[in-house]
Amino acid sequence: MSECTHDCSTCGESCGERTEPQSFLKPHNPAARVGKVYGVVSGKGGVGKSMVTSQLAVLARRAGRRVGVLDADVTGPSIPKAFGVHQRAMADERGMLPVETKTGIQLISVNLLLDDETDPVIWRGPVIGGVVTQFWTDVIWDVDYLFVDMPPGTGDVALSVFQSIPLDGIIIVASPQELVSMVVEKAVKMAEMMSVPILGVVENMSCLICPDCGREIPLFGQGKTEAAAEAHGLPLLARMPIDPTLAQLTDEGRIEDHQSQQLTPVIEAIL
Ligand code: ADP
């Protein structure tokens, strides 16, 4: 054995001085109870990541589980509005308390902390990353399943969420064009580098259903997305059409009233 340089990354020996790679994962609030944690990610904004996160929470709640949503999309927080939640989150001496929706889903979002929810969040990346980490470390969750609406893309905020919250798996949301062009590939690689298992892909805005005849109109071409997902070894878990009723219910803060079954395979895989 050669002389020890104390740099374990350059040596394969398992001696008494060996140090493990440092983990940045943080524990949750000691007063919290959290079962499984799933992140919902996308390659870019506006593809329906928050909508899928909210719907997964609604379906898990309907299945009788205790559910929370951690809105880590700090610069585009749309979760509270979709649930019609506008009150401020409170705290006690143990930590921050999530706000409950009408069906009992626990929510935390930067919008629940702002004086005026239309105020923009003009913070730099490290501050935003710190706030998201606190949503994990300080909030008194009491949930079987926590869904994290991840920041879009693969920037420093997304990285700090991946590093600090111990995710059990991620679900990737992509539009058909994104899947084909593999804008999502960076998100896939990020999850792999962080050793987080990928459950699969939800293709959103796959098609439009004609309100008159019910025919599916594939807006962005047909049949290419399964092949694109498969090429990257990702199961296509669900396909969601553009649904005007869903858009309207979301705008009215009534996403819990939506009854579609498209995401059932995803929630079955999770539960
Ligand atoms: P992201 O979180 O990726 O930025 P959102 O979930 O906020 O995107 O979705 C962007 C907008 O598109 C929202 O107004 C949302 O209600 C709407 N939307 C998303 N998916 C659908 C869909 N399948 N049908 C109708 N509207 C949708």
Most confident of 15-19, 24-28, 33-37, 188-192: 33-37
Q: Is 150 in the pocket of ligand 1 (CB under 6 A)?
A: no
3-state SS assignment for residue 172: strand
Number of domains into which the chain is organized: 1
Report the DSSP beta bridge partners of residue 91: 96
Question: What was the pLDDT predicted at 1?
Answer: 55
| Whether residue 263 has its Cβ less than 6 Å from ligand 1 | no
Which residue from 40, 44, 47, 51 has its CB within 8 A of the most atoms of ligand 1, so it is best to mutate? 51
CATH number, position 127: 3.40.50.300
Instruction: Tell whether ligand 1 has an atom less than 6 A from the beta carbon of residue 81.
Output: no
CA distance 260 to 21: 44
Q: Which of 101, 75, 69 is nearest to 87 (CA)?
A: 101
Q: Mutual orientation of helices 125-137 and 156-164 as an angle, nearest 10°? A: 20
Domain residues for 235?
25-270
Tally of residues, the chain? 271
What confidence category does residue 226 fall into, taking pLDDT thresholds of 50, 70 and 90? confident
State pLDDT tens for residues 140-173. 999 999 999 998 877 888 888 899 999 999 999 9
Q: Examine the pLDDT at 98 and tell me if it is beyond 90.
A: yes
Is the CB of residue 242 below 6 angstroms from any atom belonging to ligand 1? yes
Q: Residues 5, 239: contact at Cβ < 8 Å?
A: no
Query: Considering the domain boundaries, does residue 13 fall inside one?
Result: no
Report the pLDDT value the prediction gives residue 21, as an integer from 0 to 100: 62
Whole-number average pLDDT of the chain: 88
In the predicted structure, residue 232 carries a pLDDT above the cut 70: yes
Q: How many other C-beta atoms lie within 10 A of the C-beta of residue 7?
A: 8
Nearest residue to 152 (alpha-carbon basis) of 181, 135, 172, 177: 172
> Quick one: CA dihedral 158, 162, 164, 168, positive or negative?
positive
Over range 181-199, report the average pLDDT: 83
Is 3 contained in some domain?
no
Question: Which among 178, 202, 209, 250 is the best mutation to test ligand 1's pocket, defined by most ligand atoms within 8 Å of the CB?
Answer: 250
Please indicate whether residue 169 or residue 221 has the higher confidence score (pLDDT).
169
